[in-house]
Structures are given as C-alpha cells and as structure tokens.
Amino acid sequence: MKRVYIETYGCQMNEYDSEIVKTILRQSGYHITETPDNADILLMNTCSVRENANRKIVARVHEFRHAFQENDKQIGILGCMVTNLGEDLLDLPINFMAGPDSYKFLPGLIEKAKKDKLVHKKLSRTETYADIYPTRVDGINAWIAVMRGCNNFCSFCVVPYARGRERSRTIPDIVAETEQLVQEGFIQVTLLGQNVNSYDDQGKNFADLLQAVSQVRGLQRIRFTSPHPKDFPLELIEVIADNAKICNHIHLPLQAGSDRILRLMRRTYTQKQYMALVDKIRSKMPNVTLSTDIIVGFPTETWQDYLQTEAVVNTVGFDSAFIFKYSERKGTLAAKKYADDVPEEEKTRRIVRLNDIQKNISLKKNLAHVNDIQTIIIEQLGTKKSPDDCQGRNQGNKLVILPGKHHVGEIVQAKITDATAHVLKAIPAQ
Ligand code: 5AD
Ligand code: SF4
C-alpha cells in the first residue's frame, strides 16, 4: 500500500481541503502517514495569498528533494499556488500538481505522473466536494466548507483567480454532516467560506443556514468565517445575537481605513459604512468579540491614508487583528493597475506601529474581562508552560488557560483572573 504524507499551508479552507484529499486518497487505497520519512508520496497543499507563502513552499520542495535524494518519492503540489502559477512551477523538482477543484483526479494523476510531470488545475463552477466526508483529526472542532470560491475581486486578492467562482452546498447536506459530526463526538463546527454572506442555497441565505445548523442536538458551538462588511444584513446580526449556540465572535476584515484606498481595493464600503456596521453589531451584541484583517502599504498609500487605518483601529477597539504588508499578486487588478510603490521599510514601519497599537488594545480588552464568569470548552491538556494546566476557548474564541485536571471537550464555568494581550487566565468558578 502506498503511503502519503500531506503538509498544509495557509488558511482554514486549506486545512479542510487537506482533510478532503486524505479521504479521496484513502478511498483509492493509499495510507496516510504522519511524517515524510516513511511516505512514498509527499504532498504540499499550498497558499498563494502573499509572496512569502509562495517562497516557503518553493524552499520546502527543494528541502524534500535534497533530504530524499536517493529514493524515488513523488512530490505533488496542491491548492492555490497551482491555479495561480500553473506551468511556471514546472521548473521545480516535482511530479504533479492539482488545483483546489482537481482533488478527485489525484489518484489518476499520481498513477500517471510516474512518467511525465502532470498538471490538473481547471477550476469548476460546481465542485463542492459535498460527496466527500473529510478525514478529520480528533478534537472538539470540525471545519465545514459551506461555500467555495469568491466573486468579489478585491483588487489585491488572488483568491477569485486561485479558487474560482462562488458555489454553495445545500442546507440539508450541511445539517446532515453536522449531525454525523456530533455523533462522532465533535461539539463545535466552524462554517467556512471566502465570503459567507454570499452563501446561497436556492434563495436560502447564510442566516437560514446558521439557524438550521443550530438546531442540531448535542452541538454546543457554531463559529463561522469570514463575512464581508459590504453585505452584513441586520437579519444575520439578529440570528447570531438571539441564538445561544452561535458564538458572538465576528471576524470582519477592514483591510484599510482610508476611503481612497478602500476604493482602489474595490472593497465597496467606506470607513463610515464600516463603522456604522460595527455600531449596528454592537447595539445587538454588546459583548461581541471583533477581529479583523488589515493590509498596510497598498499601492499609493500615504502616511495620511495609513493614519486613517490607525484611527479606525483606535475607534473600533478590535479584540485582535491580523495585519499584513501588501504583497503584489500576479494577475490581480492591483498588480495590473498600480505599481507596488510603498517602500519595504515604510511597510515595516507601518506594520510594526499598528501591531503595537493593537497589542495595547488587545491587552486592555482582555483585562476588562477579569472577574467575569465565562463558559470555556477545554481543547487541550497541558500548555507550553505547564503540563498541569489546560487550554480552552471562551465563546469569543479567546484562548483561556485554566489550572487543574479536565478533559478535552469538557465545558467549564470559569472566573477570569488575569490576562495578557493573547490569553486569558482563569480558575474554575465555584
Ligand atoms: N497582500 C497582503 N495581504 C493580503 N491579503 C489578501 N491578499 C493580500 C495581499 N495581496 C490578506 C487580507 C485578507 C487575508 C486573508 O489576507 O487581509 O483578508
Ligand atoms: Fe479576496 Fe476580497 Fe474575496 Fe476576501 S472577499 S477572498 S479579500 S477577493
């Protein structure tokens, strides 16, 4: 039996896709291994969203070839880099490539690639892998991709090119999968989509889907990522606010604070509209946890533009933010229209400064929870610092460290006693 090792880079959708790939290969008689050493086939599920993701993967391919020179392991590249760079990757010492919609062709590709280098990267308008039940790792959370692709074409983003057009799975199908997951012991699902607000099952929207999934008995928590601020209906806010199982955590990518930059990014909202949405969300969910994505150094971004991003960060007070330097992606609108003209040192200056500001805000937000009683689901026994502690998450998705013996999946009422910018510390509440 041939053994396959798979390494995953990038977002949660890629983690999910690797689980799909594992099932497809197992059904074709392959065995999945945990390390590359004893595998016959090495797969890398790749990300193309920023240049350093690409660089990491190219280096890893060479590392693999170097480490396993004497034997004839096959190396395959999967995912977004394949659709994004395609034949340009053929100079690498690899055997085959398969894009995000090509995984059902993998067994055939692996077989045929013994002779020639093969590429399958055609994107599909319909593939959702609804008929493949992913091979998930044990734990409390299971990912479910409820939709794939993106139709937004934000000017910086390679995703619409790498992953193709939007398509959704049906509500009955997702509910059935959730029921099966609960039977297997998962108590949380995270619904994934590039833009979940574009979810569409014959007129039924994302709020309808959340409501349907929340009715699955035994399920404790529902998370989702990510919505786009351009179309966040009040109905959806109300469904999240009114339904105890749906976590009050919203990841709401801002990208930039300046209206001029938002326009060049084709985000289709203004700073004012974004702030109004935050206010609307907070009026219905005063305790909501808000996180965001931000890009600094988009082409032509001046210091004044950047300060607008800072202003939004200060005013909103996000619980956390993922901040990135703009990275030009081949084929995107921004790459075609605008020179990547903010110098690297300037991007660094902005990202360091903004990360610093955010860290202080995160710390303040976390300290404000001291003395709260919160519901924590234990995810891991032992932490980096102590084998006697446990790690879990509150419903806002914040990491919480607790002393003492618990089991994975246990629901603990805990009192927050201290906090850093990244974690809350707690003791079981009496
Ligand atoms: N450069 C930098 N960051 C990017 N992102 C997407 N494309 C780029 C790019 N070209 C960021 C966005 C997005 C997150 C997943 O990655 O902030 O929300
Ligand atoms: Fe990229 Fe914009 Fe689609 Fe998000 S919404 S995946 S940033 S194009």
DSSP for 285-337 reads -TT-EEEEEEEE--TT--HHHHHHHHHHHHHHT-SEEEEEE----TTSHHHHH
Q: Give pLDDT, residue 319.
A: 98
Q: Which residue CA neighbors atom 14 of ligand 1 most closely?
A: 293
Supply the Cα-derived Rg of the chain in whole angstroms.
22
Beta-ladder partners of 192: 145, 225
pTM of the model: 0.95
C-alpha of residue 157 to centroid of ligand 1, in Å? 6
Candidates 49, 194, 197: which one to mutate for ligand 2, based on the most atoms within 8 Å of Cβ? 194
Nearest-ligand number for the alpha carbon of 328: 1
The two beta strands, 188-192 and 320-325, are unpaired
The amino acid occupying position 410 is E
> Edge-to-edge strand order for the sheet containing 289-296?
249-251, 289-296, 320-325
What separation in angstroms does the CA of 218 have from each of 70, 181, 222, 247? 51, 10, 12, 15
- Choose the CATH number for 373-428 among 2.40.50.140, 1.10.287.110, 3.20.20.150, 3.90.1150.10: 2.40.50.140
Residue 196 has pLDDT above 90, yes or no: yes
Give residue 390's pLDDT band: very low, low, confident or very high (50, 70, 90): very high
Write 275-282 long-range contacts (CB < 8 A, 24+).
Answer: 275/312, 275/315, 275/316, 277/229, 277/232, 277/252, 278/252, 278/316, 280/234, 280/237, 281/232, 281/237, 281/250, 281/252
Nearest of 38, 17, 41, 18 to residue 29 by alpha carbon: 41
Return the pLDDT at 116: 78
| 288 close to 249: Cβ distance less than 8 angstroms | yes
Nearest Cα to 313, choosing from 325, 328, 323? 323
> How many C-beta atoms lie closer than 10 Å to residue 230's C-beta?
15
| Residue given tokens 């901040």 in the structure block | 323
Q: Residue 59: what pLDDT?
A: 94
* Confidence (pLDDT) at 367: 98
Atom of ligand 2 nearest to the CA of 255: 7
The per-residue pLDDT for range 35-89, each reduced to its tens digit, is 999 899 999 999 999 998 889 999 999 999 888 876 778 999 999 999 999 888 9
From 154, 232, 322, the mutation candidate for ligand 2 (largest count of ligand atoms within 8 A of CB) is: 154
Cis peptide before 214 (omega within 30 of 0): no
CB 11 within 8 A of CB 23: no
Q: Which ligand is nearest to the CA of 163?
A: 2
Q: Which of 47, 274, 293 to mutate to test the pocket of ligand 1 (most atoms within 8 A of CB)?
A: 293
Residue 114's pLDDT is: 74
Give the residue from 269, 268, 271 showing the smallest Cα distance to 258.
271
- Note whether 49 and 10 are within 8 A (CB): yes
CB atoms within 10 A of CB 286: 9
Q: What is the C-alpha separation between 174 and 187, in angstroms, rounded?
A: 15
pLDDT score at 232: 94
Any idea which ligand is nearest the CA of 147? 2
Q: How far is the CA of 154 from the centre of ligand 1 (A)?
A: 10
Position in ligand 2 atom list of the atom nearest CA 160: 8
- Per residue in 107-148, pLDDT (tens digit) is 999 988 877 788 999 999 999 999 999 999 888 999 999 999
Quote the pLDDT of residue 187.
96
Distance 21 CA to ligand 2 centre (A): 24
How many Å from the N-terminal Cα to the C-terminal Cα in the chain? 54
Domain ranges (residues) in the chain: 3-120, 373-428
Residue 112 CA, ligand 1 centroid: distance in Å: 35
CA–CA distance, 42 with 31 (Å, rounded to integer):
12
Predicted local distance difference test score (pLDDT) of residue 403: 93
Mean pLDDT of the 263-283 span: 98
Distance CA 83, CA 101 (A): 9
338 pLDDT exceeds 80? Answer: yes
Burial (0-12, 13-18, 19+ Cβ within 10 Å), 7: middle
Contact status, residue 24 vs residue 32, Cβ threshold 8 Å: no
For residue 357, what pLDDT is reported? Answer: 98
Predicted confidence at residue 190, as pLDDT, reads: 97
Ligand 1 atom 6, closest CA: 157
- At 283 the pLDDT is 97
pLDDT, tens digit, 9 for 90 and up, residues 277-326: 999 999 999 999 999 999 999 999 999 999 999 999 999 999 999 999 99
- Nearest-ligand number for the alpha carbon of 265: 2
pLDDT tens track for 360-380: 999 999 999 999 999 999 999
Whether 50 is in the pocket of ligand 1, judged by its Cβ within 6 Å, is yes
How does the average pLDDT of the chain come out, rounded? 95
How large is the average pLDDT for residues 210-227? 97
Nearest atom in ligand 2 to 194's CA: 6
Report, as an integer, the average pLDDT of 156-184. Answer: 97
pLDDT value, residue 179: 97
pLDDT for residue 160 is more than 80: yes
Tell me what the mean pLDDT of segment 351-355 comes to.
98
Ligand with minimal distance to 329 CA: 1
In this prediction, residues 346-351 reach a mean pLDDT of 98
Instruction: Quote the pLDDT of residue 66.
Output: 87
Average pLDDT of the segment spanning 243-259: 97
Q: Is the CATH number of domain 3-120 3.40.50.12160?
A: yes
User: Which pLDDT belongs to residue 53?
Assistant: 87
Tokens of 415: 């009192």
Positions of E strands within 141-187:
141-145, 147-148, 167-168
Does ligand 1 lie within 6 Å of residue 156's CB atom?
Answer: yes
Task: Give the model's pLDDT for residue 112.
Answer: 86
For residue 345, the model assigns a pLDDT of 98
Calculate how far, in angstroms, residue 94's C-alpha sits from the geometric centre of ligand 2.
29
